[in-house]
Chains A and B, each alone.
Chain A
């Protein structure tokens, strides 16, 4: 969707008077920066496209010379920013963060593909043996290039859950059936397969679809994270490096920055929350760059679990108490959540000028994977990757595709409480978690924080109990429904004959896996 819009913008000529000035300015932005040093180099090209797209997007504003340096700085920093907020600690000395994510990943695998999980366990293949490169390079050395671009696109706007999902989907594809495992009877054979993924085995459209429907949500990851942090402390002691809290998606970064900015600068960013257009373009996202206030208020994720309020990402995405209710709708979430209100409504309600095109568009493509036709359209120009995509403004009237339909058909049968098949569970949870997060992040004053968190834990305990009951009910329900459906499927397959032997095996596995996941839950 976004890409179509972006393409539209790029195709459009733009007003000559703006383009003229922009072109004159291109080589004058940070001319000693390696990115912008070369005339007509990639930095200058990207800059041109961003600035031009903006003049088309907001013809009334056109181009102001002050935009160029801002956009240039953004181009310089977007990737770094993404790494710091999405993958905190990934590249720092101890590499603890990646090891921790390895444990989280393995545990998630147990839920999503028990067959692969058992296989890896059987041959003692530790997650860091195969996922280190996958995660640390965000699959850039693993997948065919077109897939890399799609995955990065999703990753940029939705955060680390995409990385987890891609890994899980890959393992599922490579180790997810009896037939496939038959030829991998050994550690070396398995590692060989995982290290050298043949491009033919990864079809872009298929893998993207799988990534989109895999029910691994931010909250599931966060929950698993708190479990693994606890285990880590028990077995290896305190984490020596305590990275900042992980943010899930551009939306979360935006919200977080916004709160921090309003705290630290005492309202100078107040235009962000109001419906009055900000004085200049790109302002909102320029706050994405490190503000001192933001750094200060960043809470290490360990303290989160200490308080027992390990916040689900729905909470991170959630609205700060002072913000208008429209913000609740979360475009970054993609089709895997049931939004608390009709998907289109909330989105339209966000005044487009609150966010710069950079931020908005980054949140945009999350909806895209569900619409493969458009995705493949955009895929034609891989060169136009990261920063340029960001120039796209939001299509104001888009509805996200109905998540229910997509998932009901294809989602494997995991009775996860946050999975699509039990959308109702999400609402109370996300509300509660929003409170928890607001508590964790907004309060700069310690006293206030403590008091609040006390109240919170009490509240939480109550709600947890309620939630557990509810979850259990829903799980049972989902389980029944699933078994029924599976029966039907198996019967159908019987009719089809032994043609899909492979698939039958996988399903039997899934059944076991569901049981296992249930046990572990």
Chain B
């Protein structure tokens, strides 16, 4: 346990939001450093891995790119499982996709909580800002308010096309994830094993979860 002074973290991060808001493009930009106007719709779920150096530790981000079409929403419970953080993305040129953000957040919080009952850290991404920056900068204060009301830890105007703010948003999320992880660890008794009558880990046993 103690021998690996070079610690590694693995975090599962969800990327959700309405269809066509640019979830896949954001991930592509963040992980593969490129952008393509031609891409295919995500069916079900896709994955990508990003490795970061973080205070001399290695952080692996497992990015889950989840299909935006509403009918896939029925499967989100399975997709959300064991995630530590999330991006919710909307398209600044499509107001309806912002309206859907609250719905996505609600869905997320209702299906996923950390072991201590708290919601996972979630960052709001206002994507395609290269196309509609003006509209949003006017709404800056409103956006802050919106984030507060809906429990986002932060929001960023992003552009996958122009590579704007994506690294920043990811760093923000990772920061909050690490904080919430510390929070979690502190709530447990560190380094000692206390024999207990009731097994409180029973609830999180994956096989039990599966059969629910």
Interface set of A (CB-CB < 8 Å, partner B): 91-96, 99, 124, 126, 128-129, 132-133, 136-137, 141, 188, 191-192, 195, 235
Contacts and interface: CB of A to CB of B under 8 A. Distances in A.
Nearest to B72: A95
Contact of A132 (B44, B62, B212): B44
A133 B74 contact: no
- Find the residue from A91, A191, A235 having the highest chain B CB count within 10 A: A191
A96 B72 CA distance: 10
Contacts of A128: 44, 75, 78
Contacts of B210: 124, 126
Contact of A141 (B40, B72, B212): B40
A133 B43 CA distance: 6
11 contacts: A99-B75, A124-B210, A128-B75, A128-B78, A129-B44, A129-B45, A129-B78, A136-B43, A191-B47, A192-B47, A195-B46
Ranked 7 nearest A-B pairs via Cβ = A132-B44, A133-B43, A126-B78, A133-B44, A124-B206, A95-B74, A94-B74
Given A95-B74, A96-B74, A137 B43 contact: yes
Contacts of B44: 128-129, 132-133, 136
B47 A188 contact: yes
* Interface residues on chain B, size class: 10 to 19
A95 B46 contact: no
Tell me the interface secondary structure of chain A in the complex.
Answer: helix
A424 to B, nearest CB: 37
Contacts of A133: 43-44
B187 interface: no
Nearest to B42: A133
A283 to B, nearest CB: 37
Given A129-B44, A132-B43, A141-B40, 20 more contacts: A92-B71, A93-B71, A93-B74, A95-B71, A95-B74, A95-B75, A96-B74, A124-B81, A126-B210, A128-B78, A129-B78, A132-B45, A133-B43, A137-B43, A188-B49, A188-B62, A191-B47, A192-B47, A195-B46, A235-B212
A92 B74 CA distance: 11
Contacts of A91: 71
A93 B73 CA distance: 9
Given A141-B40, A235-B211, A235-B212, A132 B47 contact: no
